[in-house]
Structures are given as C-alpha cells and as structure tokens.
Amino acid sequence: MTISVIIPCYNAAAYLDECLQSVLAQTMADFEIIIVDDGSKDDTLAIAQRAARLDARIRVLHQENAGVSAARNAGLDAAQGEYVTFVDGDDLLVPDAFEVMLQAAKGGADMVVCAHETFDDAGGREVFYPETCWWALEGEAQRHAAALRLIEGDSVLNIMCNKLHRRALLEGEGIRLCPGLRIAEDALFNLEAVLAGHGIAYVGRIAYRYRMHAQSAMHRSAGSVFETHIPWFGAMRAMLQRRGVMERYYRAFLDTVALRLYKDGGAAGVMRDFNRMARPVLPDQELDRMRMSAADRLLLAIVRRRLYPCVYPLIYPVQVAARKLSALAFRLRAKKEMPV
C-alpha cells in the first residue's frame, strides 16, 4: 500500500460524495481511504458506509464526537500505507495530486508540500504559495527555515492538507496531533514533523482545493487572538522542549507570542500587556543559556528583567517591515509561479 488517505468528517454529508470522487479519480490507484466519522449528526456515516460497500479501498471508522485532531489520530493509528495524506471531507484533490507528490518524494524527503487554492460555491478562487523561500534551501538550512515559518505561521506550511508524510517517520517519532488544541493543531503537527524529518520536497503547483463556506475551520474564531492561541503556545513550548530545541527557537517563539498580542492591540498593546500576559507562557528557568546565541541570551535577560516592553518600540518596526516585505515578495512571486 503506497498512500493512506485520512478523511476526518463531521457533518460533511453535503460534500463528502464529491470529495470521495476526487480521491477515487486519482491517476495513481494504489491507495486506501480511511474515513473517520467524528460523531456526525447528519448522513455522513451512511454516505461513507455506502461508499465503502462500492470500493474495497475505503474503510470507515466511527467515534463519538472528539474533534478533528482525535479523528485524524484515529486514522493515523489505522493507516497501513508507506505515506499518509489528509483530506477534509468538504475539500477536493486535483486528479494527479498523488502522482505528483509521490514523484517529489522520490528524492528521500519525509514531507512533500504542494501549493493549494481556496474556492467557494460563488466561483471565488485564491491560490497560495509559500510565503518565503525555505523550499529553495537544502538539508538543515531548509528544515530550520521551514520551522521558523511554522512557529510564526505560513499559509502553505501550516495546514494539515496539501501534504504527503512518510508514515515511518510519524510512527518512529510518535508524532500525533494534540487532541486538546482547537486552533493551529495542524501547524504544531507539521512543525514536529519538520524538526524530526530529513527534508521537505516542494511542488509549486496546485494539488489541493480547500472549500470555503460558513462552517470552514478557517472561519471559526472567537475571543482575542492572543487568548485563543494560549493552548497552542503551551503545546508548542512543551514540544520544543521535549525535542531539545527550545534554546534554538527561543527568539522565534518569543516573536510569535508578541505577534499575537500585536494583532490584538498593536504596539501599544504589546507594551501594556506583555509582562502580564506573555511572560507566563514563555520558557524561563528551564532554558540552558549555554546553548543559546549571545543575542538570544541578551533577549532572555531583557524578558526576565521585565524590560521587553521598553525595548519593543525598537523591535516592532523591524518585525512589521519584515512581514510587509514578505507579503510583497509573496504577491510578486505568485504572479510568476502560476501552476502548470
């Protein structure tokens, strides 16, 4: 078995048939489909069971509603393929998605990443490419650059879908989604896979089509940006410490925490709330200063002495400029990198 396709579903009856047809229409036929019904209240389970009766490659699992992360983990536990990929029950694949990703994986990469597009029923469409050139690097430099983007956030790297993972890596490293997370759980999974893996292959064309509608996960958010991300901060901090790389990524972790405060209240919000809200989620005494760069040791000392709000007026213009330049480069490159 080459690929295990894991499809978590919750009340996906309106779209599941179309999703399955896009998977079954792949030009490469050596795959299994594992549909995990996450306690749907509509006809999702019946549709999945009917599809399984018609095609022996389809297996159906059912669980009480526990969330998409638990459903994906159940699919991972049942998977038998050399590679795994994830497809949401309301999304679509292009016909040669598997063939293209497998070709890219032949170089030995543990992860393959493709461009993707969002679409809606009104005909709207937007294409997403990587926001930085991590994909042009090799080896450790590539993994480091991709990890930095995942810690901050990247529209292509973050999402669970549009990727192929080597299952032996996931099993050997015990990589699973964190069921308690309701936001950015996919980014955390991909970050750990990048840190544990041995290379990422990138395919600069669309392989995955993400449907946008009122119930899309991308649309669901409540509360302040910072408060919503607190569980993600805690889970990422624990994972980076467990992997022994928190010292290396301390500055990136600090920046992403500050960025969420910035999104809520701008620079003034960071200076006002950092010591009260951000410091409790940052690593402190457990850090090995000798494994940190001189610049990061200085930054850690500033945070420990509660001086970060004082120096933030010097930091945030550089961060804002970097993000704007990244966005500009993305727009310019996107025009040149139309899919073939």
Mean pLDDT for 98-121 is 94
Look at residues 219, 236, 257 and tell me which one is the last residue of a structural domain: 219
- Asked if the structure places residue 333 within a domain, the reply is no
How deeply is 157 buried, as exposed, middle or buried, from its count of CB atoms within 10 A (0-12, 13-18, 19+)?
buried
Domain ranges, residue 131: 3-219
Q: Does residue 51 fall inside a structural domain?
A: yes
- Examine the domain organization and report whether 84 and 101 are in the same domain: yes
Are residues 106 and 211 located together in one domain of the fold?
yes
Q: What is the pLDDT of residues 277-313, one digit of tens each?
A: 999 999 988 899 999 999 999 999 999 999 999 999 9
Query: Same domain, yes or no, for 259 and 132?
Result: no
**DSSP E strand boundaries for the chain:** 3-9, 31-38, 58-63, 83-86, 92-93, 111-119, 125-128, 163-166, 200-211
- At 138-181, the pLDDT tens digits run 999 999 999 999 998 767 899 999 999 999 999 999 999 999 89
pLDDT at site 108: 92
- CATH number for the domain that contains residue 200: 3.90.550.10
Residue 339's pLDDT is what?
43
- Based on the fold, state whether residues 195 and 308 are members of the same structural domain: no
Residues 210 and 259 in one domain: no
- For the entire predicted model, the pTM comes to 0.92
On whether residue 329 sits in a domain, the answer given is: no
- Check whether 322 has a pLDDT greater than 80: no
Structural domain count of the chain: 2
Shared-domain flag, residues 235 and 293: yes
Residue 123 confidence (pLDDT):
87
Instruction: Report percent pLDDT > 90 for the chain.
Output: 79
For residue 332, tell me if it sits in a domain. no
Residue by residue, DSSP assigns 77-130 as HH--SSEEEE--TT-EE-TTHHHHHHHHHTT--SEEEEEEEEE-TTS-EEEE--
Q: Please check whether residues 193 and 86 belong to one and the same domain.
A: yes
**Is 60 exceeded by the pLDDT of residue 259?**
yes
269 and 212 both lie in a single domain: no
340 has pLDDT over 50: no
Contact assessment for residue 283 and residue 246, using Cβ atoms and an 8 Å cutoff:
yes
* Domain assignment of residue 180, yes or no: yes
Claim to verify: residue 249 and residue 128 sit in the same structural domain:
no
Tokens 């040149």 correspond to what residue? 336
Asked if residue 334 has pLDDT above 60, the reply is no
160 and 251 both lie in a single domain = no
Which of 197, 219, 241 terminates a domain? The answer is 219
Residue 288 lies in a domain: yes
Among the candidates 204, 219, 234, a domain finishes at 219
